[in-house]
Amino acid sequence: MTSMSVHPLLSVKGKEPQRTVSTRAVMSPWTWMAVTCLLLGISGGVRFWREWQFSALAAQKGVSPFPLSQIPWAMGTWQAKEGAEAKLDPLIVRIAGASDYITRDYDDQKTGEKASVLVLYGLGTDVAFHTPDVCYPATGHRLIKGPIDRTITVPGVGAPLRYRWAIYAKQVGGISHYVESLYTFQHKGDWLPEAADRWKMFRYDPGVYKIQVSRDVSSLNESGESPCESLLAEIVRQINDRSSRSGPGKDRASATTISSATR
């Protein structure tokens, strides 16, 4: 009986070392290291390919779909002196991220109002973060009124035009000079008072337009309404027509319907 009880125990003990060796072979650290290196290599390759795609897209979309110089010198009742276009300092152009821009002074032939216009195009990672809220204080101006966000419906433009209005002041020789500013950004067909919050979208849609219209004022406007709204609407319509696939000329109406929206 002693002999019969000993042999089965020896047989069971003899199988355990084989199972241990098999388990150790499966869990080999060299295998895990090879798999990890392979996965890291694939991940790095995909990331490099995606970064290359984004860089190529930025290079392609960093150029305006049309030369901004094509924006007319006469729009509605507003008229600029043809050929009298100012040039920005190259350093300012580079900081603003502009691949193309125009700066002009327009006169309203009906009311006599005068306005300065800056239109530029570039990558959103640069353009969207340069606003009057930042630039005017950097030149010694302080915010007096606003900002107020307003909405304009422009005939021929599908999306509503949303822009930001404000008045800034600067002391020169003890006298306060007031400047009214209206600005908007266009990204993916949307006209917005703020584009910086779309920074995640700039990798896939990097191109951004910026329009800024400003004029000197002698009194403080409380409502945010401005005679420059019609000029802003005309520029928006021109950009929309020229950058759309169907091309310019869809709608030449210049009337605008205005409704206010306070931030």
Q: How far is it, in rounded angstroms, from Cα 167 to Cα 117?
A: 16
Residue 51: pLDDT over 90: no
Element (H, E) at 99: strand 98-108
Q: Which contacts qualify for 22-28: CB closer than 8 Å, 24 or more apart?
A: none
Element (H, E) at 212: strand 207-217
For residues 87-107, average pLDDT: 89
Q: Domain-by-domain residue ranges, the chain?
A: 2-59, 63-260
Residue 69: pLDDT over 60: yes
Extended strands (E) in the chain:
74-75, 78-80, 98-108, 114-123, 142-153, 161-172, 175-187, 190-192, 207-217, 257-260
Entry pTM: 0.71
Cβ 95 vs Cβ 130: under 8 Å = yes
What tokens does 70 get?
Answer: 């094509």
What tokens does 167 get?
Answer: 């008045």
255 pLDDT tier (thresholds 50, 70, 90): very low
Which of 52-61, 140-149, 223-232 has the highest mean predicted lDDT (pLDDT)?
Answer: 140-149
pLDDT digits (tens, 9 = 90+) for 199-243: 888 888 889 999 999 999 987 776 678 899 999 999 999 999 998
Residue 253: pLDDT over 70: no
